Structure 1
Amino acid sequence: MCSSSLLSNHLEKSLQLLMDRVDDMSQDIVKYNTYSRNLSKQQQQKHQYVQRRQQENAQRQTRGETPLPEEDVSKMFKPPQPPPRMDTLLIAGQINNYCQNVKEFTSQNLGKLFMAEALQGHNS
């Protein structure tokens, strides 16, 4: 197998690995965005519940009734479990390494290509 074929196989493999990792990162971002939306929605529901409860207690007091007993809202509204972030950090590091490899590979080989073209143009 000639060296240019080996080089193109190396570049192709590096780019494929890079694309795979970018896909993994994209999936992690979707998971995190879903978590963030769910957390925000739950916090909004919790806030609405507390406000309704306060309004109800205010109405009860105006009618001379005893207020409703205090409740532990943190037990009623348990926050969703956040996705692990360490995997995303590791994927980002791998993406960075693949980018560096592709950058080094292409800059070395583009330099060789320009040198070869210059020599060919000089010899013509």
Structure 2
Amino acid sequence: MTAQGAFEVKLEPQQDTDAPAGRMVIRKKYRGDLVGVGIGQMISKRTAGGTAAYSAVEEFSGSVAGKQGSFTLIHSGFMSADRQTLDIYVLPGSGTDELVSISGTLEIIQKEGTHSYIFHYQL
């Protein structure tokens, strides 16, 4: 199954002066086929040469196509001058309530300052 829509995101930088990477709290508001909120933490690293990597754990709570519950999204991304990857998947076994058996992957699309998603999932 496929769910689509948009989301708003707010990143809140955290002060970790002893760590060699940046950390942010992520707050999202989803609309469309996913209705709800996401909250998580992101850790990122950018080198002087411009390559960058990030990982995040996001907890989604709300509904998917009208079914209520929550689940965890795991993010992993990499960017260099010649390549960019972003993988986001539902952590197996993390679904609750009507979403207890959910699995799938999420694509994020950034265009003209807006964020949208395509969520490929199974219930």
Q: TM-score range by the shorter chain?
A: under 0.3
Q: Higher relative contact order by CA 8 Å / sep ≥ 6: 1 or 2?
A: 1
**Where is the strand percentage greater, Structure 1 or Structure 2?**
2
TM-score by length of 1: 0.16
TM-score by length of 2: 0.16
Larger radius of gyration: 1
